[in-house]
């Protein structure tokens, strides 16, 4: 099949602007969702390591629920079904007055979905520290909250920096699913350029390169963060 390459199309108006705004929406969605994922995921991960049975059950149920339903289905549930389940006034508000409805839904969906993954990492991190540290903290008179705040979490978070990085990259890649409910992020914009100009290969190449560049930047930054926050003698702790 004949294909007419035309790389110049990418710099033409309005396509160049589409790509830029697509990249901005992708990064915006991913970062906003990461705030939810990190906060909620930390809370749920901590809940799963406490010795209060009710909290552990709620945490486990959350993780199993969000991990075992495809993200695409969750996206549709949040967008189409969730407003129907709310009380009438709240449902109407979500449908009519929610600012940036697609974007907000995508952020909440990605955030709550990734929270289940972050929770698993936080739990694994805390569990890898060993009970000794917890008992030591309690023995010197710290309250359970203080044990988490000053002993378990500072160590746990540093252990799980590499898996958290890959979760962040996951949220960044999964933000492309937001196109199914109408967020014009990077993948959606390149798809649109393909539809307008039939220059699909140029458009998809651009998106591919941009995704790779962002991934590379995040990985490089996180490697520096990991080195800066490393605890001296950590290898002996993890080998124990």
Partner 1 sequence: MSGGFDYHVIINNIPFMWQGIQLTFLLTFLAICGGVAGGTFLALCRLSRFAPISFAAGSYVNFFRSMPLILVIFWFYFLVPWIVGRPVGGFDSVLIAFVLFEAAYYCEIIRAGISSVGHGQIYAGRALGLTYGQTMRYVVLPQAFRNMIPVLLTQAIILFQDTSLVYVVGLHDFFVNADMVANRDNRLLEMYSTVAFVYFVLCLAGSLGVRRLQRKYAL
The answer to whether 118 and 38 have CB atoms below 8 angstroms apart is: yes
Count CB-CB contacts under 10 A for residue 169: 17
Q: Which of these ranges, 38-46, 78-86, 93-101, 231-239, lies near partner 1 under the rule CB under 8 A?
A: 78-86
Examine residue 95 and tell whether it contacts partner 1 (CB under 8 A). Answer: no
User: Which residue's CB is nearer to partner 1, number 212 or number 235?
Assistant: 212
User: Which residue's CB is nearer to partner 1, number 145 or number 239?
Assistant: 239
What are the structure tokens assigned to 196, written together?
Answer: 């307008």
Compute and round to an integer the Cα radius of gyration of the chain: 22
Examine residue 3 and tell whether it contacts partner 1 (CB under 8 A). Answer: yes
Q: How far is the CB of 100 from partner 1 (least distance, A)?
A: 21
What does the per-residue mask of binding to partner 1 show for 16-55, with x meaning CB under 8 A? ----------------------------------------
Query: Residue for token digits 């929610």?
Result: 98
Examine residue 211 and tell whether it contacts partner 1 (CB under 8 A). Answer: yes
Examine residue 179 and tell whether it contacts partner 1 (CB under 8 A). Answer: yes
DSSP H stretches of helix in the chain: 15-47, 53-67, 71-76, 82-85, 88-96, 101-129, 131-139, 144-146, 153-159, 161-174, 186-197, 200-229, 234-239
The answer to whether 108 and 36 have CB atoms below 8 angstroms apart is: yes
What residue ranges bind partner 1 (CB under 8 A)?
1, 3, 64-65, 67-74, 76-77, 80-81, 84-85, 169, 173-177, 179-180, 187, 190-191, 194, 200-201, 204, 207-208, 211-212, 215-216
């Amino acid at each position: 099949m004949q294909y007419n390459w035309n790389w110049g199309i990418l710099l033409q108006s309005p396509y160049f602007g589409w790509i830029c705004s697509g990249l901005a929406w992708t990064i915006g969605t991913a970062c906003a969702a990461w705030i939810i994922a990190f906060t909620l995921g930390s809370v749920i991960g901590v809940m799963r390591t406490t010795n209060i049975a009710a909290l552990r059950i709620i945490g486990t149920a959350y993780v199993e629920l969000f991990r075992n339903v495809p993200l695409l289905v969750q996206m549709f549930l949040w967008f189409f079904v969730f407003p129907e389940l709310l009380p009438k006034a709240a449902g109407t508000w979500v449908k009519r007055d929610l600012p940036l409805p697609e974007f907000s839904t995508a952020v909440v969906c990605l955030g709550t979905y990734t929270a289940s993954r972050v929770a698993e990492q936080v739990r694994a991190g805390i569990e890898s520290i060993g009970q000794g540290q917890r008992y030591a903290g309690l023995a010197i008179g710290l309250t359970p909250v203080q044990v988490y705040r000053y002993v378990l979490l500072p160590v746990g978070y540093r252990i799980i920096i590499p898996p958290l990085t890959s979760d962040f990259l996951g949220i960044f890649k999964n933000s492309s699913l937001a196109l199914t409910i109408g967020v014009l992020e990077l993948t959606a914009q390149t798809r649109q350029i393909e539809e307008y100009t039939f220059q699909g290969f140029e458009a998809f190449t651009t998106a591919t390169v941009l995704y790779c560049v962002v991934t590379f930047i995040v990985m490089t930054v996180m490697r520096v963060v990991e080195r800066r926050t490393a605890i001296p003698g950590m290898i002996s702790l993890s080998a124990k």
